[in-house]
Chain A
Amino acid sequence: MSEAIIGVDTGGTFTDVTLYDPASGRLIVGKTPSTPHDPSEGFGNGLGTLLTQAGLKGDAVGRVLHGTTVATNLILERKGPKAALLVSSGFRYVLEIGRHDIPRRANLFTWQKPPRPVPPEHVWEVTGRVAPDGSEVEPIDEAAIRRTAREIAAEGILTVGIVMLHSYANAAHEKRVAEILREEHPAVLLSLSSEVLPVLREYERSVVTLLNAYVMPTVSTYVEKLEQRAGQQGISAPLLLMKSSGGVASTRAIRRTPVETALSGPAAGIVGAAFVAEAAGFGDLITIDIGGTSADIALIRAGQPGITTNGRIADWRVTLPMVDLTTIGAGGGSLARISETGGLVVGPQSAGAVPGPVCYGRGGTQPTVTDAHLVLGHLPFGLLDGSFTLDIAAARRAIDDKIARPLGLSVDEAARGILEIVDNTMLGAIRVVSVERGHDPRDFVLVPFGGAGPLHGGALSRLIGCPVQLVPPAPGVLSALGLLASSLRAEFSRSCVQRKGRFDLDQIDAAFADLERDARAWLAAEGVADTARRISRHASLRYEDQGSELTLRWADTLDATLAAFHAEHERLYSFRLEDVPVEMVTLRVDAVGLLPALSLREIPKMGPADTAIVARQMISLAGGIIEAPVYDRTRLGAGATIKGPAIVKQLDATTLLLPDQTAEMHPSGSLIVREE
């Protein structure tokens, strides 16, 4: 395989691009401004810039991989088109009622129910009912469905989700409803719950199916534009999009289940972290991606990110398999302020890109985490290679006025307090993915990335006791690198309820066989050769009468799977119940299509580390103010070792090395930081 591959990750401000040329082993990394009015424009610009820089023509490209926020933004900003939902009769209000709760942390008197993506007048009821065992209780009323289809057409609604009760057990009604809709309203796009997520619990299934319908028209159009943009660059290679589960899929597959791209960007970052860490010989990782407004934390075991079906997008439970990440409102733009009771609080409110931190000089007046770093000397005095300078005096003034004086602290103490609080917020989220999942964080390597990640990595690794920290080669564009390293991936799930410790092995085998048939068909449609296919079976199990399941790899035999379940339950929850029957709820088959591996060129050895020192500046730490060298990361060769305190600057991020921390440049390009 000698064709180049390209990764394009669209973010809020920048579109990050990477190109890998296997012929030369060369990796090109770049950034181009994002174009929110039409993200495909930034995508096209990125492709053009890369090809020019690489001196390649479009036909030299073997595949293009893309991480997108189009679906996420539609959901977050509620900017989708008019959509409709068809449900079983009696359940028109399935979305409005939801689980009839107020979130556990919310206040009864101030909480407000988030508006649903479609109002009740766009939910239509359809006669027809099946029982949980799949038998028909009441047939569907075809004439009524035809009338409904015409009403939907008359409303000008072009995308519809169909959710009928117990369709995970028998999808015949949903399929017939879909046929009739297509006959009566040929322009309609359909999402069937039995295809999007055929598992028990009608509200959760309805939400996922509806969100799929909600994003489908826009994502379809977007994907078409991407193909045109690639064509304009002379690229005819396949375009693959990153899904929330950390694998890519063809545009054909994405058009059918576009909601699977909801965590596209963060998933790519996690894949990127796994890739760079593997190149340095590490497989057990805690990753933290710190941006301007939020931080995403995930745990990776033996190179594999965890997959959850308890995820959320905005206010919605999205029970599709997705990378298990915890998102918190803590980032460089998080605002610090004094609470009404005189406490110091940081975030979750953020200054965002506009006005941004005080030091950006764009009108921000409330100090942020970035301002605290700047005041303490953690940042080189200018970002993006000095393209704009930071107003340290304004940052200092803001911290003094708004935090330090009201609390009776010095400016440095206040700034350190801001960082300490935000670091502890992140620590809490790191504990959620590690300690709370039965993992000891000290057994993991911390991988901080994102623009602000490596500024916090040193303090975080100390707080959680990670002995090793790995700062990726280009921490600010790791998602784009992750795209290059990704595989094709799809998950196929189905409810297959086995109760009271009685397992019908024939039924289980038949269900797995069905799912595997779907998986093979998918791999074939994606053009994956037999030798590159990886198919694995998973089952979700629980003790009888429990309400949530643990998903485990199916271990060939039932007994081995059950043994693994008892062990996992004990590891997670501190006890096992061997005398209680085990039940099975959902079966899942994962299909992976391996893409040609990426092998990055090692970085060369260079002169002594000292020659990479480009400046010295005073930094303020808990122990006092000390002078620290500023290194240019591009001038650090393989094996170069530097001691903290130090600052390592590069185009897309800044690494802060604390006293008693030592960093060594690994030949794969990552900085490996250890405590002395």
Chain B
Amino acid sequence: MAQQRSASLMTGPGVDPVTLEIIRGGLRAVQSEMEVLIERTAMSPFIREKKDYASGLYAADGRMIAGKALPFASDLVTPIFEEYPPRSMKRGDIYWYNDCYLSKGGVTHTPDQVLIQPVFADDGLIGFSQTWAHFADIGGMRPGSLSADCTEIFQEGTMVPPVRLARDGVVNEDLLKIFVRNCRFPALVRGDFRAMLAAVALGEKRLEELANRFGGATLRAAFDELLGRTEAAVRSRLQALVPPGTYTFAESVDTDGQGSGPVTIRYKLEATEDGRFLLDQTASDDQTRGPINLVLNPKAPGVLVGVYLLGGSTEVSLNAGAESLFDEVKLREGSVLSPRFPAALGHRGVTMLRNLSGYLGLINTASGGKAAASHSPYVIWLIRGTSTSGERFLMSDGVACGYGARPFADGHDAVYLVAQENYPAEFVDISYPMRVRTYAINPDTGGPGRWRGGCGVIRELEVLAREALLSVRLDAIDHPPWGTAGGQAARAGRCIVNPGTPDERVLKPLSDGNVLKRGDIIRLETGGGGGWGHPFDREAERVLADVRGGFVSRESAERDYGVILSAEGRSIDQAATDKRRADRPAAKLFHRHGYVESLA
């Protein structure tokens, strides 16, 4: 039943504001429902506990209409068009890929599997239902398919170019058999596929219901309108923040895990007088031998900056309208952001997070510090081995960091990322031959500032397995997350085996093949986020609360914030604080290893 409405209600190209808002709410609901289904039924702990998955809805031309709150890429559907043009598609088709190169960065490492199902209205293709999820293991050099030791993508698991996984609703089990045969934990993979197939089919059904309710023409018009509104909103917000001019910034990844580094990403933004934005990242360093290369889709920068610009708006949906925020995005083939096949990509997460930090740096450079400070890239460690009863296990544990302070609030303490959860200690203890001994805030890692950067965490495990192999990925150690607007840099993290004992050893931050034995204690300390604003401007009461809560040490309170506490540490020594704060250090726009006017 198509909705009837008087002609006078129509504004724009065939969809009125009331219907538009109803469709917007409906799309959001469908996308949520798909995600709930995956979360409830998937089997890899990576998906079900850590929640590394997402769903999206797309228009018939492949533009994302609804997706997760922080999509690192939005252009997930058009990669299938080359092989399977939309006119060849039929109801009941499902497409599948994980190929980072052929998808031009639709996905950026091979464990992420993408499923796409076309949706048809009475008058033809109306759009796509899509879902992706990070599978625990898809083969490759080491369990978990991600390793600092990989130097080409062939070592990172089975590559799947865009293929048709189902026709007329019948799944090609032969394709799945080949894939599953190459996985170390086949039962998990089969279970995860069932969950994803159910979710993508659910999305198809729901989007079709929307099409039946409003009519294909109205739905298409609504898609266009929603995309147009988002495009206009992000552009006007960026224009308000960035005056005409040319701005540069540089951000670095410490190491590629194969002996090279730092690897620097360089940005040049030109804001023209007529309101256009030209982004040039061609001066970034060459691709690396180690697996930190990122296939950056040219549409991704607009979406990432769009997430920042839209903030928590419940009124404007993030969608592909943000892709055209930059009128031009220049990348250089052979660089770390546009590597040539078959460069290894597994640990591109550090580059992704550092690149996001770079966009914030660029906006701060252009706006004089009106955006957030930098964050530590989230940390991951994989522990694989054999339990005392001889069972093989793989634990991929994502560990939180601190995020950058904002002009209006502290940075997040102990956050991994939007919608990604930790493994509870009790879950680790019951599921793996490991025991979580400590899970705490890592004090003083947040950069001092008027608003404090978030603190990282300390996670300490005891190895109960006979033997195990540890892979770890930490970054932003040599280049700690910068502070801005007078705020200071964060403190970095590290990974230690048997801390405080004669066999203590500090591991390389991006490394694999670290051998562990039963009884070893492994301790991961993660870094924080940068501060925002001069630390001497932070209310002494907040500093006191931070000291009492264990986020900031007494020494840091005194040294960095100029706040002196009473002897027992429970109140502020106001006179001493006033005296100390009278001698206020000069600040500059950025802070990393000291204050600097620019990071470029």
Q: Which residues of A contact B (CB under 8 A)?
A: 90-94, 96-113, 119-121, 131-132, 137, 165-166, 200-204, 339-346, 348, 407-410, 413, 416-417, 420-421, 424-425, 428, 431-432, 436, 497, 543-548, 569, 572-575, 577, 580, 622
Does B534 sit within 8 A of A, measured CB to CB? no
Within 8 A of A (CB), among B328-368: none
Choose among B18, B32, B48, B311 the residue that contacts A109 (Cβ–Cβ < 8 A).
B311
Given known pairs A92-B440, A119-B545, A547-B45, the reply for A101 and B420 (CB within 8 Å) is yes
B19-27, B88-96, B110-118 - the one binding chain A: B19-27
Does B470 sit within 8 A of A, measured CB to CB? no
**Using an 8 Å CB-CB cutoff, how does the interface string of B33-52 with A read, 1 for contact, 0 for none?**
10111011111110011010
Does B191 sit within 8 A of A, measured CB to CB? yes
A420 touches B425 (CB 8 A): no
B191 touches A580 (CB 8 A): yes
Choose among A90, A428, A546 the residue that contacts B40 (Cβ–Cβ < 8 A).
A546
B438 touches A90 (CB 8 A): yes
- CA A249 to CA B509, docked complex, whole Å: 56
Does B501 sit within 8 A of A, measured CB to CB? no
**Using an 8 Å CB-CB cutoff, how does the interface string of B433-474 with A read, 1 for contact, 0 for none?**
001111111000000000000000100100000000000000
CB distance from A333 to the nearest CB of B (A): 17
- CA A644 to CA B318, docked complex, whole Å: 42
| Chain B residues within an 8 Å CB radius of A109 | 307-308, 311, 372, 406
| Chain A residues within an 8 Å CB radius of B412 | 102, 111, 113
A545 touches B43 (CB 8 A): yes
CB distance from A628 to the nearest CB of B (A): 21
Given known pairs A92-B440, A105-B69, the reply for A202 and B424 (CB within 8 Å) is yes
B429 touches A132 (CB 8 A): yes
A573 touches B41 (CB 8 A): yes
A343 touches B315 (CB 8 A): yes
- CA A131 to CA B545, docked complex, whole Å: 34
Residue of A nearest to B136 (CB): A545
B549 touches A120 (CB 8 A): yes
Given known pairs A96-B414, A100-B400, A577-B194, the reply for A343 and B229 (CB within 8 Å) is yes
Q: Name 22 interchain pairs, CB-CB below 8 A, sorted by A.
A: A91-B439, A97-B422, A98-B414, A100-B422, A101-B415, A101-B416, A106-B312, A107-B312, A108-B69, A108-B403, A131-B429, A137-B435, A165-B426, A166-B429, A200-B426, A428-B25, A543-B43, A545-B45, A547-B49, A573-B37, A573-B41, A575-B197
B4-12, B258-266, B273-281, B478-486 - the one binding chain A: B4-12
A166 touches B426 (CB 8 A): yes
- CA A165 to CA B201, docked complex, whole Å: 40
- CA A548 to CA B45, docked complex, whole Å: 11
Residue of B nearest to A121 (CB): B548
| Chain A residues within an 8 Å CB radius of B37 | 573
CB distance from B540 to the nearest CB of A (A): 17
Q: Which residues of B contact A (CB under 8 A)?
A: 4, 6, 8-9, 11, 16-18, 20-22, 24-26, 29, 32-33, 35-37, 39-45, 48-49, 51, 68-70, 187-188, 191, 194-195, 197-198, 201-202, 229-230, 232-233, 307-308, 310-316, 372, 399-400, 403, 406, 409, 412-422, 424-427, 429-430, 435-441, 457, 460, 545, 548-551
CB distance from A77 to the nearest CB of B (A): 20
- CA A522 to CA B527, docked complex, whole Å: 50
- CA A78 to CA B440, docked complex, whole Å: 24
The 7 A-B residue pairs with the shortest CB-CB distance in the complex, in nearest-first order: A547-B48, A339-B315, A90-B438, A545-B43, A104-B419, A417-B18, A110-B312
A341 touches B406 (CB 8 A): no
Q: Which of B17, B21, B37, B421 has the most CB of A within 10 A?
A: B17
| Chain A residues within an 8 Å CB radius of B16 | 417
B311 touches A424 (CB 8 A): no
CB distance from B314 to the nearest CB of A (A): 8
| Chain A residues within an 8 Å CB radius of B419 | 101-104
B415 touches A93 (CB 8 A): no
B39 touches A340 (CB 8 A): no
| Chain B residues within an 8 Å CB radius of A339 | 315-316
| Chain A residues within an 8 Å CB radius of B416 | 100-101
B414 touches A108 (CB 8 A): no
Known: A98-B414, A110-B406, A132-B429. 7 other contacts (CB 8 A): A97-B440, A100-B400, A120-B550, A340-B233, A409-B8, A548-B40, A575-B198
